[in-house]
Amino acid sequence: MEAPLDSAAKRLVDDVIALAPLIRESAEDMEAQRHLSEPVVAALRQAGVFRMATPRAYGGPEHEPTTQVRVVEELSAADGSVGWCAMIGVTSGFMSSRLEPASAQRLFGGADALLAGQVAPLGKAEVVDGGYRVSGRWRFGSASQHATVMMGGCIVREKGQPRRQADGQAEMRVMLFSQAACKIIDTWRTIGLRGTGSNDYTVDDLFVPFEDSFNLFEAPRLMTPLYRFPLLFLVNHAGIPLGIARSALAQVVTLAGNKVMTTRRLLREEGQVQEAVAKAEATLGAARAYAYATIDEVWQTLSRGEYLSPRQRSLFRIMMVYVHRVAKQLVAEMYDTAGTSAIFQTHPLDRHMRDILVACQHVAVQEKVYRPAGRMLLGLDPGDPFF
């Protein structure tokens, strides 16, 4: 069951729902430009979407996970790309919890703060006086056109060689730097989530001070419950497939009440359509309840100051994969149910189909993630350091 929202969270969700007309009006432009529109980004900033997870210690609301998922779900129902960029942008708060206070305030204290980028160690960071000289090229910089801060995972090097940790592994750190210091490369030409602007980006021999970096595998500096979530659990990611699937179902319901078939009957009078809509309602309702119940159980455990059990960690990752797979199937079924209406780029179902296909390609929600999760349920080591 979905946990009730407090008054501040409810206001945020209501404000986000009110943005739906603006987002839908901007959808075609965002698809064509391949990044979010300035009016949409401004509205998201004004509503406080990107600051949902910003720590209270740094002036943020530190909203609990249910609120974050609800917001991302509503935005994804309006447009998958907007929901995706919101999900990415909210990581600003989680990353700030791992920095020294002065650095966190400087990078993420402003109302317009927005983080983009990825943590995969595709760059190198050479140790120098006071910090690192960083070079690298990373992919999937969602919302990078509007970001204030970029991140890039690096292998730390000292005197030209990878620096080793106590376990013998090369040290990996995430570097944070100004978006203005990056070169953004126009590579984002995809079938779906076109409006996310998830381009490649590079830096070359950029100085990054020690305090503007962190080790992914070290505990955060702030240990309130929200930041004790495993970093790569992508707390609010489930809102994306749930929102896209909900909108696809709503589109078919609307279409069924207006589309006249060759039999001169409305589409909603067809038994096949009635069955498909009923099954979709049940499927989506079950997946949504499963997602929120799993997230809430994890949240309650962390709120009690307890550590997550291997079973809880496994079930969270299973849930994340499952809701994406269910949404993908549901959107495909709604696409089929709509018939030829769905094949035109002007129809929202076309975009929903393309968006969910791309969303399901994310490494954290591919079906292969079931394997380490299953290993944990069977009492084995997952064989994955991010579990």
- Domain locations along the chain: 7-96, 113-214, 237-377
For tokens 């589109």, what's the residue?
Answer: 251
Nearest residue to 142 via CA among 212, 221, 211, 197:
197
Q: Which fold has domain 113-214?
A: Butyryl-CoA Dehydrogenase, subunit A; domain 2 (2.40.110)
> What's phi and psi for 190, nearest 5 deg?
-130, 170
Distance, CA of 54 to CA of 60 (rounded, Å): 4
Query: Is it true that domain 7-96 has CATH number 3.10.310.30?
Result: no
CA distances from 243 to 7, 172, 247 (A): 22, 34, 6
Nearest residue to 35 via CA among 143, 141, 170:
143
> What's phi and psi for 175, nearest 5 deg?
-100, 140
Which pTM value belongs to this model? 0.96
Helix (H, G, I), strand (E, B) or coil at 73: helix
Contact 155, 171 (CB under 8 A): yes
Q: Which of the following CATH numbers is that of domain 237-377: 2.40.10.10, 1.10.240.10, 1.10.1060.10, 1.20.140.10?
A: 1.20.140.10
Distance, CA of 335 to CA of 339 (rounded, Å): 7
Helix (H, G, I), strand (E, B) or coil at 290: helix
In the 8-state DSSP scheme, what is residue 361?
Answer: T
Distance, CA of 387 to CA of 57 (rounded, Å): 28
For tokens 């980028």, what's the residue?
Answer: 117
- Asked whether this chain's domains 113-214 and 237-377 adopt the same fold, the reply is no
CA distances from 387 to 83, 151, 363, 373, 384 (A): 25, 21, 13, 8, 6
Distant-in-sequence contacts of 217-222, Cβ < 8 A, 24+ apart: 217/172, 217/385, 218/98, 220/97, 220/98, 221/97, 221/98, 221/99, 221/100, 221/101, 222/55, 222/57, 222/97
Mean pLDDT of each 10-residue bin along the chain, 387 residues long = 82 97 97 97 98 95 97 98 97 95 95 95 98 98 97 96 90 97 97 98 98 93 93 86 98 95 90 97 98 97 95 96 98 97 95 98 95 96 86
